[in-house]
Structure 1
Amino acid sequence: MLFDFDCETNEMNTNQKSKIMNKFSTIIGIFLVLFTVSCEGPEGPPGFDGLDGRDGVDGKDGIQGQVVEVDNVNFDYDADGNIFNALITFSDVTDFEVFESDAVLVYRFDGTVDLEDGSTADTWSQIPQSFFLPEGTIQYVMAHTFVDVELFIDGNFDLSALSTDFTDNQSFRIVFVPSEFAESSKMDTSKLSNVMSALGIEENQIHKIEGN
């Protein structure tokens, strides 16, 4: 019987220790929760934004205008006015939208010249263009709207017998320059190459159309 009593006593001590440990664990848990809550202060202000990244590379500027080459233009003679004329309607040669305020430049093909490296280059003269002939003087002139351009050959003598070198199978390049670019640019319009360079137009970007 003494042995049984000792066992019961040991079992009671073990149970008491377990209860004490459970209570201690519970108290520690509550203390940790209270400590964590008490350590959290109010939310601070937002931080500063980071620095912006570098800008990307700029794209190439778009073409500011257009160049159209119209070949095989033939002039008609007006006997009453002693003048030759040829009309080119823009919608027949380009889909470029032309406004009343836009600049329209016209250049006539003069032929080719030999270069020092043995190659050749086309030459173009801006209209108006004058020629001094034995019979007198002739001049290519132009008048345009935002719809068309009319070319004339005027002179101070009877033009009815004017050589077809001036009237038949002529080639012209028409340059359309938007008003915003024309007003802000100081390009030299006397040379077609200068105008094309200012507009960023290459030779292979010229629209070529057959005339009348």
Structure 2
Amino acid sequence: MKQLLLFLALSTTVFFVSCEGDPGPPGEPGINILGQVFEVTVDFTPGNNFSQLVNFPSNVEVFESDAVLVYLLEDVVPGNNGSIDVWSQLPQTFFVDQGTLVYNFDHTFLDVRLFLDGNFDLSTLGSAFTNDQTFRIAVVPSEFANSELSMEELLKSMQIENTEIQTISN
């Protein structure tokens, strides 16, 4: 009798484990926990007080706990397979003839403010430092953030290709 009960118990278990029903409806789209990067080109002028406010694109959701990293395109150099962008993480300091110039930023979960700071009259700067300045802004969940990442390391850790970076107009 014990053997018959054991056989029935095992048979029932195998029967219920092997059953499969209809798949349920698809769930909500997942959240990109690896972060997002976008690019913007701005001009710093006396009219905007050498400051530009950049709103996050509507498809970029930023939480107060996220880290926001900003990189300045400093140069484009020739490489074996085309040109290579040279990115420097902000804040970035330059020593110019007039004094010390700093590219810097601050942010909320709604926007990023890019600005120039210096120990001299910024209106004496040439257009090389003020016009058509390109920045990459990375929104990184805090658990993935490392303030010492280069642009290449950041994109690799976030699994983002250069071709996937959204350019926004300001």
- TM exceeds 0.5? yes
Give ranges in structure 2 of 5+ residues lacking alignment: 19-31
DSSP-derived class of the 1:44 partner: helix
Partners of 1:163 and 1:98 in 2: how far apart?
34
Structure with greater Cα Rg: 1
- % identical equivalent positions: 43
Please name the residue that 1:205 is paired with: 164
CA contact (8 A) 1:63 1:200 kept: no
Give the direction of change, closer, same or farther, for the CA distance of 1:203–1:94 in structure 2 (3 Å limit).
farther
Q: Measure how far apart 1:108 and its partner are.
A: 0.9
Q: Measure how far apart 1:119 and its partner are.
A: 2.6
CA contact (8 A) 2:71 2:87 kept: yes
Q: Measure how far apart 1:147 and its partner are.
A: 0.8
Instruction: Count residues with an aligned counterpart.
Output: 152
Matches within 5 A, 1:189-204: 189=149, 191-204=150-163
Match of 1:105 among 44, 69, 80: 69
The CA RMSD measured in Å over matched residues stands at: 2.7
Give the direction of change, closer, same or farther, for the CA distance of 1:165–1:42 in structure 2 (3 Å limit).
closer
Please name the residue that 1:44 is paired with: 4
Partners of 1:188 and 1:197 in 2: how far apart?
14
Partners of 1:42 and 1:123 in 2: how far apart?
76
Cα deviations by residue, 1:100-138 (Å, 9 ceiling, x for unpaired): 1110001111121122x2632111111100111122110
Partners of 1:42 and 1:100 in 2: how far apart?
62
CA contact (8 A) 1:69 1:209 kept: yes
Structure 1 range deviating more: 125-134 or 62-71:
62-71
Please name the residue that 2:59 is paired with: 95
Q: Which structure's residues are more often helix, by fraction? A: 1
CA contact (8 A) 1:66 1:175 kept: yes
Q: Which structure's residues are more often strand, by fraction? A: 2
CA contact (8 A) 1:63 1:201 kept: no
Give ranges in structure 1 of 5+ residues lacking alignment: 1-40, 54-61
Q: Tell which has more relative contact order, 1 or 2 (C-alpha 8 A, sep 6+).
A: 2
Partners of 2:36 and 2:144 in 1: how far apart?
12
